[in-house]
């Protein structure tokens, strides 16, 4: 093992605007053996997620920016090659945060073991991982949709959005999804049971399309997108509406903040609750969330989609594709055969 090399992706430079391949570079380093309390893992799958764009900026945020030349961290799944942690053994499948690397040397406390018998291991990065938990906590702890209420989700065809809509249906809400593709929308409506779908690119003016789809106004707006789409939603909010603020993907690639309509007067007169959140804020409830999500998956009430691209070298391309809205559901990259 000791002579083996690791490869990882690092930022070559900080993207301005939309990230491109030139902003990423592969680095090689000698692969060390794990120390006491550590695992050496071989990466099987890595996750690419919109929030990672934020960490590519050198700006105040909830997480430190990625350093130039250092591994881009994020959700990964791997097989343990060598364990120096009690309770983990060679061959175990683990999920952790070592990111865009062929191998990871990770702390035993920073990962969790995945049982391949319970569900496909890739779900640990999606519906039964950070993605599912993000949808779960934002929808239930902030949005709290009630039977008969109207829930609108932007980015509805993305990994988080399609779970949000399904949880809304499980809770008895009327669910409207906004995405940028008729193909996604067909899937949301026909396969997942969304009540209405809107294509923000073609159903224009969006404000009117929303008004038709939401005759009783909007009680919960799960926002993944921001920008013009959110501008169209806010005037339709009902008194005491809730906004789980999860993402603003339409704005991530802007170097300078653009102007938009002032929203606070409307949030005031409708006495809206808005909460920015991170899945990590609910770490103490993670077990409960995974248990309930797992049950819904087993019962067939919660479906998921994964879009898997092959090959370590294609990680940056898969990431960049998130911003053109290509992915239906969770975007993953397979780095090595299972």
Binding site for a copy of itself (CB under 8 A): 54, 60-62, 223, 226-227, 230, 239, 245-248, 251, 257-265, 267-278, 281
**Please, what is the angle between helix 130-137 and helix 286-298, to 10°?**
100
Token pair of 159 as six digits: 């990994």
Least distance from a copy of itself to the Cβ atom of residue 161, Å: 15
Least distance from a copy of itself to the Cβ atom of residue 229, Å: 11
Nearer to a copy of itself, 246 or 328 (CB): 246
Least distance from a copy of itself to the Cβ atom of residue 239, Å: 6
Nearer to a copy of itself, 113 or 141 (CB): 141
Least distance from a copy of itself to the Cβ atom of residue 60, Å: 7
224-246 in b/e form (b: 16+ CB < 10 A) is bbbbebbebbbebbbeebbbbbb
Nearer to a copy of itself, 258 or 299 (CB): 258
Nearer to a copy of itself, 50 or 325 (CB): 50
Nearer to a copy of itself, 105 or 267 (CB): 267
Using CB atoms within 10 Å of the CB of residue 315, give its burial: 0 to 12 exposed, 13 to 18 middle, 19+ buried: buried
Tell me the C-alpha distance between 140 and 142, whole Å.
6
Least distance from a copy of itself to the Cβ atom of residue 126, Å: 21
Nearer to a copy of itself, 221 or 296 (CB): 221
Contacts 24+ apart (CB under 8 A), 225-229: 225/154, 225/155, 225/178, 225/249, 225/250, 226/154, 226/250, 226/251, 227/251, 227/260, 228/200, 228/260, 229/154, 229/178, 229/200
Least distance from a copy of itself to the Cβ atom of residue 272, Å: 5
């Amino acid at each position: 093992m000791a002579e083996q090399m690791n490869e990882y992706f690092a930022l070559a430079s900080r993207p301005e605007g939309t990230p491109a391949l030139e902003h990423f570079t592969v680095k090689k380093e000698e692969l060390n053996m794990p120390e006491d309390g550590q695992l050496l893992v071989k990466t099987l799958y890595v996750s690419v997620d919109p929030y990672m764009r934020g960490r590519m900026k050198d700006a105040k945020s909830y997480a430190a920016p990625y350093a130039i030349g250092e591994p881009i961290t994020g959700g990964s799944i791997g097989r343990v090659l060598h364990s120096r942690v009690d309770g983990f053994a060679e061959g175990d499948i683990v999920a952790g945060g070592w990111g865009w690397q062929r191998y990871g040397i990770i702390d035993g406390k920073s990962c969790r073991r995945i049982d391949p018998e319970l569900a496909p291991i890739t779900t640990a990065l999606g519906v039964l991982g950070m993605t599912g938990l993000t949808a779960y906590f934002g929808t239930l702890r902030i949005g709290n949709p009630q039977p008969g209420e109207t829930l609108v989700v932007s980015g509805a065809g993305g990994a988080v959005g399609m779970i949000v809509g399904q949880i809304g249906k499980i809770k008895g809400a009327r669910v409207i999804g906004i995405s940028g593709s008729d193909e996604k929308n067909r899937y949301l409506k026909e396969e997942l049971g969304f009540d209405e779908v809107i294509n923000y690119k073609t159903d224009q003016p969006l404000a009117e399309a929303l008004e038709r789809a939401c005759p009783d106004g909007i009680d919960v707006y799960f926002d993944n997108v921001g920008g013009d789409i959110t501008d169209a939603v806010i005037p339709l909010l009902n008194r005491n509406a809730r906004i789980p603020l999860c993402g603003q993907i339409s704005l991530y690639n802007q170097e300078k903040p653009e102007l938009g309509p002032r929203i606070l007067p409307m949030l005031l007169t409708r006495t809206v609750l808005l909460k920015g959140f991170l899945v990590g804020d609910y770490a103490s409830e993670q077990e409960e969330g995974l248990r309930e999500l797992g049950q819904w998956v087993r019962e067939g009430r919660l479906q998921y989609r994964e879009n898997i691209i092959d090959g370590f070298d294609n990680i940056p391309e898969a990431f960049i594709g998130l911003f053109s809205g290509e992915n239906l559901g969770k975007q993953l990259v397979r780095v090595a055969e299972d």
